[in-house]
Amino acid sequence: MAFWKPGSKKPEASLPLSAEVDREGPGDSGGRLVVFNRNENLALQAQRERLPIFKTRDAILHLVETRATTVLVGQTGCGKTTQVPQYLVEAGWTAGGRLVACTQPRRVAAMTVASRVADEMGVTLGAEVGYAVRFENVSTPGVTRVRFCTDGVLLRELMEDPLLSRYSVVMVDEAHERSLATDLLLGLLKKVQRRRPDLRIIIASATIQAEEFAAFFDTRHLEPKPASEASSVNAPSREPGIVSVEGRAHTVLIHYLEKPVPDYVKAAVGAAIDVHRAEGPGDVLVFLTGEEEIEAAVSMLQEEAEDNSRRLLGGGAGTNPAGGPERFTVHPLYAGLSPAQQMEAFRPAPRYTRKIVVASNVAETSVTIEGVVYVVDCCFVKQKAYDPTRGMESLLTAEASRASANQRAGRAGRVRPGKAYRLCTEKAFRDLPETAPPEMIRSDLAATVLQLKALGIDNIMNFEWLSPPPAANMIKALELLYALQAIDDDARLTKPLGMHLAELPLEPQLGKALLVSGELGCVEEMLTVSAYLQVQTLWVSPRGRQKRLDECRDRFAVAEGDAVTALNIHTAWCGGRARSFADKNMLSHRALVRASDIRAQLARHVRRVGLVVSSAGKDSAPVRRAMTAGFFANAAALAPHGGGAEGSAFRSVRGGATLFIHPGSVLFRARPAMVVYAAAVRTGREYMRDVTAIDPEWLSELAPHFYAMTQRSGNERPADAAAVF
DNA sequence: ACAATCCCT
């Protein structure tokens, strides 16, 4: 492997936090912390005390006691997620009926970590220890003391209880990931803390971002409280404390390329094969950016595996010079695969066989593959970007950050010391950005701004963002909300429309489409459409079965577009809700169940808002009118000459951009005169997804204010936006 | 000769 050069700094000094659940900890369960026979629990207690974090237990509790905010820096497997909430319980933070919250960016993490902690505390999940994720609230009012939840759930809770009055401590875990929800939550928590000095915040973060969080929460310069005020006597210091916990990960030796390579997919395949031939036992995890690359690499490796086993003839227990197996198997892993296909990548390899998993970013944070000792990293990621002038999100392949590459490398050090091979030179690596740009600054902000307004934050320009989004993104969001009549000329939330939109767990445009269905007499239908537009992978798409998929889709497809097609699917699915129905039609059973769950949740919201549930029966026009009333800003007209085999070209009504119908839409080959779309995304071309054919007349009828506004000056903005200029 | 990083209310 002459083309590899070991990194000059041997193991990475500090791998960032693993985003998954800390698994270190006592292996057994049972035993209880609130006990009458303490001896029973000695083994459990001893194991908890062996965790690296135990050494800093007192320091953590001291900081939480004396500081309003504590930043907790902890590496993979240090036990922070499972132990800190328990320390807080032991130290009395849940006395007097108060709760400790611990937020996670992902549902599975919230659920599994809650279950783990309940085991360690010897209580039933849902009693003293519970969790809350969308559709599932496993907790008991008055009994639950520690509550794990997604950060999205806590954000919603903030709308009902703006001071989070039930909580004594909120721990925001995996904060270094800088997801939109985490950033928003941290900004709001800072605000809450000003009115509730007793609220303690713990931010669990990777090393490189600890200072940034600490600086953000440092409020020593703000309004020193008069000494006469009783509450200030015991008020904690406004200077955040930082505490660092050592991890338990094994060292990972990093290798770099001596020279850059022109094709990283081929290079990744070559590196995986080199590792297989030269290294000892242990599975290989290869990071590439997306499905196309992954499938290409898998087929190359598959070919090699077949040649390889032909060469080996029988035998089966052969080893290479380093003692590694001679045989290997190959598995793709990305979120678009069905659960059954994903399982293949997790199943341990047969004896005398090495497993090579070629994965997307799912394997960086969301899931862990046991047994990985070698990582190959292409050092690229697919990253969302937002173009405010076009109101369009795009997905571009970008350089990975060093933090992300370190996280990937860390996947090799879970079971024993490992090795990581980066497909770039060491110099190129040093030039990579330290961290990825926070999601907040590259996202459509309409829903975020709406939520802030609903929380009474009227001047969003003055909101203390952890990373302020570009002004253009905020203006775009305000313009859209204004056009939807969710905010008025003074940029205040309208009543009741704006309020209701903020309460719905939908993007504002779709929320508007759902709310107007009351007047249009198609609430039943719009509940279904709204729910189906929320699920991403409705169709199963195994490679090489494109024809069959098209046939299946044609069974439900109608010329009115994807929304009306969803109605057909839902009606057919409701016939028996059978898995066999899903399989027969190449639909994802899981997605159908999820759509039904979302539909039920939306139905509850809609009833609370006072909509009378109505149905338009077989007439699709009201549904398409409702879609127009929500997505009028996303209208596009068939271009006179455009298009060919790649689909018809359209021109956006506002802006005149050239757009194509996404190949996944039922209207891909159709040529409707006018459409509205729920989302536009740029990959190679600019594509419209979730497309509905409409009557052009409807635009001026259902959104006169918007189209009149565009014609008059094209320039009118609500007050909040105007203030920037 | 057509497309899909990843999460979440």
Domain range for A305: 252-440
Structure tokens, A441: 């600054």
- Longest CA–CA separation in chain A, Å: 86
Residue A632 φ/ψ, nearest 5 degrees: -55, -30
Report DSSP letters for A477-545, one per residue: HHHHHHHTTSB-TTSPBPTTHHHHHHHSSS-HHHHHHHHHHHHHT-HHHHHHHHHHHH-S--B---TT-
Which residue is nearest nucleotide B2, judged by alpha carbon to C1' distance?
A663
DSSP, collapsed to helix, strand or coil, labels residue A316 as coil
Residue A250 has pLDDT above 50, yes or no: yes
Q: Is the Cβ–Cβ distance between A650 and A637 less than 8 Å?
A: yes
Q: Which residue has the tokens 């928590």?
A: A189
Q: Is the Cβ–Cβ distance between A666 and A553 less than 8 Å?
A: yes
Q: Is the CB of A152 under 7 A from strand B?
A: yes
Query: Measuring CA to CA, how many Å separate A714 from each of A680, A702, A703?
Result: 21, 18, 15
pLDDT at A644: 61
Q: Which residues contact A86 (CB under 8 A, 6 or more apart)?
A: A33, A48, A117, A120, A121, A146
Residues in chain A: 725
Structure tokens, A630: 């929500």
Q: Which of A297, A330, A325 shows the shortest CA–CA distance to A312?
A: A325
Q: Which residue has the tokens 């338009």?
A: A616
Nucleotide with minimal C1' distance from the CA of A682 is B3
pLDDT at A208: 76
More confident residue, A539 or A376: A376
Q: Is the Cβ–Cβ distance between A360 and A294 less than 8 Å?
A: yes
Q: Is the CB of A362 under 7 A from strand B?
A: yes
Q: Is the CB of A590 under 7 A from strand B?
A: no
More confident residue, A418 or A28: A418
Judgement on whether residues A106 and A131 belong to the same structural domain of the protein: yes
Question: For the sheet containing A372-377, what is the strand order?
Answer: A4-6, A252-257, A418-425, A372-377, A283-287, A353-359, A327-333
Residue A257 maps to which CATH number? 3.40.50.300
pLDDT at A391: 83
Structural domain contains residue A456: no
Q: Which of A191, A187, A156, A160 shows the shortest CA–CA distance to A172?
A: A187
The protein footprint on chain B, as nucleotides within 7 A of a CB, is 1-9
DSSP, collapsed to helix, strand or coil, labels residue A471 as helix
pLDDT at A681: 87
Residue A38 has pLDDT above 90, yes or no: no
Structure tokens, A189: 């928590």
pLDDT at A40: 55
Judgement on whether residues A51 and A152 belong to the same structural domain of the protein: yes
Judgement on whether residues A560 and A659 belong to the same structural domain of the protein: yes
Structural domain contains residue A105: yes
Residue A693 has pLDDT above 60, yes or no: yes
Judgement on whether residues A114 and A168 belong to the same structural domain of the protein: yes
Structural domain contains residue A127: yes
Residue A725 has pLDDT above 50, yes or no: no
CB atoms within 10 A of CB A423: 26
Q: Whole-number Å distance, CA A83 to C1' B9?
A: 27
CA distance A16 to A75: 6
Judgement on whether residues A213 and A286 belong to the same structural domain of the protein: no
Arithmetic mean of pLDDT, A256-273:
95
Judgement on whether residues A205 and A349 belong to the same structural domain of the protein: no
Q: Is the CB of A519 under 7 A from strand B?
A: no
Nucleotide with minimal C1' distance from the CA of A362 is B6
pLDDT in tens, A218-243: 988 876 555 444 455 568 999 999 99
Residues A406/A411/A413/A414 CA torsion (nearest 10 deg): 140
Q: Is the CB of A410 under 7 A from strand B?
A: no
Residue A15 has pLDDT above 70, yes or no: no
For residue A61, give the amino acid letter: L
Percentage of residues of chain A with pLDDT beyond 70:
88
Judgement on whether residues A203 and A122 belong to the same structural domain of the protein: yes
pLDDT at A165: 95
- Name which of A216-230, A387-401, A534-548 the model is least confident about: A216-230
Which residue is nearest nucleotide B8, judged by alpha carbon to C1' distance?
A152
Structure tokens, A207: 């090393």
Which residue is nearest nucleotide B5, judged by alpha carbon to C1' distance?
A382
Q: Is the Cβ–Cβ distance between A668 and A662 less than 8 Å?
A: yes
pLDDT in tens, A185-204: 999 999 999 999 999 999 99
Judgement on whether residues A330 and A406 belong to the same structural domain of the protein: yes
Structural domain contains residue A701: no
Residue A715: pLDDT band (50, 70, 90) is: very low
Arithmetic mean of pLDDT, A608-632:
94
Residue A714: pLDDT band (50, 70, 90) is: very low
CA distance A480 to A488: 11
Q: Is the bond leading into A325 cis (omega within 30 degrees of zero)? A: no
Domain boundary among A226, A245, A264: A245
pLDDT in tens, A62-121: 999 999 999 999 877 788 999 999 999 999 999 999 999 999 999 999 999 999 999 999
Q: Is the Cβ–Cβ distance between A375 and A420 less than 8 Å?
A: yes
Give CA A505 to chain center in angstroms. 15
Beta bridge partners of A497: none
Within A 226-265, residues with CB less than 7 Å from strand B: none
CA distance A130 to A105: 16
Nucleotide with minimal C1' distance from the CA of A663 is B2
Report DSSP letters for A404-428, one per residue: HHHHHHHTTSSSS-EEEEEEEEHHH
Structural domain contains residue A28: no
State the pairing for strand pair A69-74/A283-287.
unpaired
Which residue is nearest nucleotide B3, judged by alpha carbon to C1' distance?
A663
Q: Which residue has the tokens 């892993």?
A: A333
Q: Which residues contact A311 (CB under 8 A, 6 or more apart)?
A: none
CA distance A140 to A100: 14
Q: Is the CB of A366 under 7 A from strand B?
A: yes
Within A 650-709, residues with CB less than 7 Å from strand B: 662-664, 668, 681, 683-685, 687
Residue A382 has pLDDT above 50, yes or no: yes
Judgement on whether residues A516 and A542 belong to the same structural domain of the protein: yes
Residue A316 has pLDDT above 90, yes or no: no
Residue A11: pLDDT band (50, 70, 90) is: very low
Judgement on whether residues A91 and A212 belong to the same structural domain of the protein: yes
Residue A543 has pLDDT above 90, yes or no: no
Q: Is the CB of A462 under 7 A from strand B?
A: no
Within A 533-572, residues with CB less than 7 Å from strand B: 534, 536, 541, 546, 549-550
Structure tokens, A696: 């052009």
Query: Measuring CA to CA, how many Å separate A235 from each of A66, A238, A289?
Result: 8, 9, 48
Residue A13 has pLDDT above 50, yes or no: no
pLDDT at A25: 36
DSSP 8-class letter at A166: T
State the pairing for strand pair A658-661/A649-652.
antiparallel
| Kind plus residue range of the DSSP H or E element containing A453 | helix A446-454
Q: Is the CB of A505 under 7 A from strand B?
A: yes
CA distance A85 to A120: 11
> What is the torsional sign of CA A713, A718, A721, A722?
positive
Residue A47 φ/ψ, nearest 5 degrees: -70, -40
DSSP, collapsed to helix, strand or coil, labels residue A15 as coil
Structural domain contains residue A11: no
Domain boundary among A206, A224, A245: A245
Q: Is the Cβ–Cβ distance between A7 and A254 less than 8 Å?
A: yes
Nucleotide with minimal C1' distance from the CA of A393 is B5
Domain boundary among A188, A215, A245: A245
Q: Whole-number Å distance, CA A166 to C1' B7?
A: 27
CA distance A199 to A235: 10
Arithmetic mean of pLDDT, A549-562:
90
Q: Whole-number Å distance, CA A306 to C1' B3?
A: 30
In chain A, the number of structural domains is: 3
Judgement on whether residues A236 and A334 belong to the same structural domain of the protein: no
CA distance A217 to A72: 13
CA distance A691 to A434: 39
Structural domain contains residue A708: no
Judgement on whether residues A183 and A318 belong to the same structural domain of the protein: no
Structural domain contains residue A116: yes
